[in-house]
A = this chain, B = another copy of it.
Amino acid sequence: MEKNVNLSVGEAQARVMRHVPLGSVEDIPLERSLGRVLAEDARANRDLPPRDVSAMDGFAVRSADAACAGAVLTVIEDIRASDRPRSTVVDSQCARIMTGAPLPSGADAVIRVEDTRMLSGERVEILVPVKAGDDVRRRGEAMKTGDVVLEAGTKITPGVVGVLAAVKRTRVSVRRCPRVAVLSSGDELEALDAPFDPERIPESNGHALMAQVRTLGIEPAYLGIARDDPDDLADHLRRGLAHDVLLVSGGSSVGVHDHVRPALEALGVTLHFWCVEMKPGHPVALGTYGEHLVFALPGNPVSSMVCFEQFVGPALRAFMGHARPFRRAVAASLAREIKHRPGRTEFVRVTLRREADGRLIAASTGAQSSGNLCSMAQADALLIVPPQCAGLPSGAAVRVLPLDGAGFDAVSEFMEHTA
């Protein structure tokens, strides 16, 4: 198993994905479905629009009457969205029509109100030639009865909620969320609610990891701190293994696997790797216990968060049925030189700012010590330094993995251009 020592980030991610089970299906109310993944196709149960309707406010016309500018038509009716037309449009007649209102029989096109001029006696002059079908939305254009409008596997975004409401789904079948437990370990750790002791290290890993879990819409179970005692650790791990996914991080910097790895193996967990060629995050392990997953994460707060980003988040998303579990890298330019010793993939915490020409500029948050949690709090993204890289000069084209909330700016694209 010594080959594990050289496992790349990509190889480790592939191993994780091989062991992630797909969550079972559950039925939940539409209003709680955001961020989940559809477990079945959704079909249209009606035609939308239910008949040919106007796409604009204007006049419903026979295109033959309005083919030339200068034609004059007589308005015979006003039709609103909730109306049923009463008349048929014949020679040189038209109907005033609102957006979304049904086309009267006889009419085959709409001319927009701004392309007409009202004359006396409910007559209207056509200023722009009209062709059949202009500004008409056809019955069933948006959806036809029986059509699959959303496929199983679709992530439920606000737009998808809109479509589900349009097909009258008050409840939807989705993949369930994994039950996730978070455990920290180490005698040196001080619980968040424990009295202050200047010699100890506050337990922050577990809280940061729980927040990462919550970004996926999953409410984790917190198992607290396991002490450096084999029985206490085994008890905590056993409780954790009852969950679909257990995240266990070491104390601030204890050689976590020294304790956790043998304890997991003694409980019957199969380990698939315990070390990845990355920095921070070198000592990270994946185990399975039946269909349950265990991630043993490094004790350093930044390392455990970076490992979550690379391995745990994708696993949780895959469990939930997401077809796209991995964050997409974006291109940026490097603000200042980064030194790097070839060997491991490095994740450098960076802030992102946008230049006037639209380029993203990535700047290191400063000291990249894996104990420096503040650097993670300041970061917009993780800059990827490939393992073979011998350093990146200022201005280098780089790839960065945005963190949550990085995709926002103080001014909008449009305000900049008008400033």
- Do residues B193 and A405 form an inter-chain contact, with CB atoms below 8 A? no
Shortest A96–chain B CB gap in Å is: 11
A345 at the interface (CB under 8 A from B): yes
- Do residues A45 and B196 form an inter-chain contact, with CB atoms below 8 A? yes
- Do residues A10 and B410 form an inter-chain contact, with CB atoms below 8 A? no
Cross-chain contact of A415 among B13, B163, B192, B414 (Cβ < 8 A):
B13
- Do residues A162 and B376 form an inter-chain contact, with CB atoms below 8 A? yes
A384 at the interface (CB under 8 A from B): yes
- Do residues A198 and B412 form an inter-chain contact, with CB atoms below 8 A? no
Shortest A166–chain B CB gap in Å is: 4
Q: Which residues of B contact A317 (CB under 8 A)?
A: 408
Q: Which residues of B contact A341 (CB under 8 A)?
A: none
Q: Which residues of A59-88 are within 8 A (CB) of B?
A: 80-82, 84
- Do residues A253 and B384 form an inter-chain contact, with CB atoms below 8 A? no
Q: Which residues of B contact A14 (CB under 8 A)?
A: 415, 418
A344 at the interface (CB under 8 A from B): no
Q: Which residues of A368-419 are within 8 A (CB) of B?
A: 369, 371-374, 376-379, 384, 386, 399, 401-419
Task: Report Cα–Cα, A80/B256, bound state, in Å.
Answer: 11
Q: Which residues of A286-332 are within 8 A (CB) of B?
A: 299-301, 305, 310, 314, 317, 322-331
Known: A45-B196, A98-B255. A408 touches B322 (CB 8 A): yes
Q: How many copies does the complex hold?
A: 2
- Do residues B82 and A416 form an inter-chain contact, with CB atoms below 8 A? no
Q: Which residues of A177-205 are within 8 A (CB) of B?
A: 186-188, 192-193, 196, 198-205
A336 at the interface (CB under 8 A from B): no
Q: Which residues of B contact A215 (CB under 8 A)?
A: 34, 158
Q: Which residues of A217-247 are within 8 A (CB) of B?
A: 228
Task: Report Cα–Cα, A370/B25, bound state, in Å.
Answer: 33
Shortest A139–chain B CB gap in Å is: 11
- Do residues A373 and B328 form an inter-chain contact, with CB atoms below 8 A? no
Cross-chain contact of A82 among B13, B187, B255, B373 (Cβ < 8 A):
B187
Q: Which residues of B contact A371 (CB under 8 A)?
A: 48-49, 55, 100, 137, 141-142
Shortest A294–chain B CB gap in Å is: 20
Shortest A349–chain B CB gap in Å is: 9
Known: A10-B418, A204-B163, A414-B9. A327 touches B409 (CB 8 A): yes
Cross-chain contact of A81 among B35, B47, B206, B253 (Cβ < 8 A):
B253
- Do residues A325 and B408 form an inter-chain contact, with CB atoms below 8 A? yes
Which residue of the partner chain B has the closest CB to A304?
Answer: B162
Shortest A398–chain B CB gap in Å is: 10
A121 at the interface (CB under 8 A from B): no
Cross-chain contact of A157 among B164, B300, B405 (Cβ < 8 A):
B405
Which residue of the partner chain B has the closest CB to A212?
Answer: B158
- Do residues A99 and B254 form an inter-chain contact, with CB atoms below 8 A? yes
Q: Which residues of B contact A301 (CB under 8 A)?
A: 162, 166
Known: A158-B211, A413-B399. A204 touches B166 (CB 8 A): yes
Task: Report Cα–Cα, A386/B92, bound state, in Å.
Answer: 39
Which residue of the partner chain B has the closest CB to A415?
Answer: B10
Which residue of the partner chain B has the closest CB to A9?
Answer: B414
- Do residues B34 and A211 form an inter-chain contact, with CB atoms below 8 A? yes
Chain A interfacial positions (CB closer than 8 Å to B): 8-11, 13-14, 30-31, 34-35, 45-50, 53-55, 57, 80-82, 84, 98-101, 137, 141-143, 149-150, 154-155, 157-168, 170, 186-188, 192-193, 196, 198-212, 214-215, 228, 251-255, 299-301, 305, 310, 314, 317, 322-331, 345, 354, 358-360, 367, 369, 371-374, 376-379, 384, 386, 399, 401-419
6 nearest interchain CB pairs?
A: A100-B253, A162-B208, A10-B414, A159-B376, A82-B187, A165-B207
CB pairs A–B below 8 angstroms (8 shown): A82-B254, A99-B300, A158-B212, A161-B211, A166-B202, A166-B204, A166-B373, A384-B413
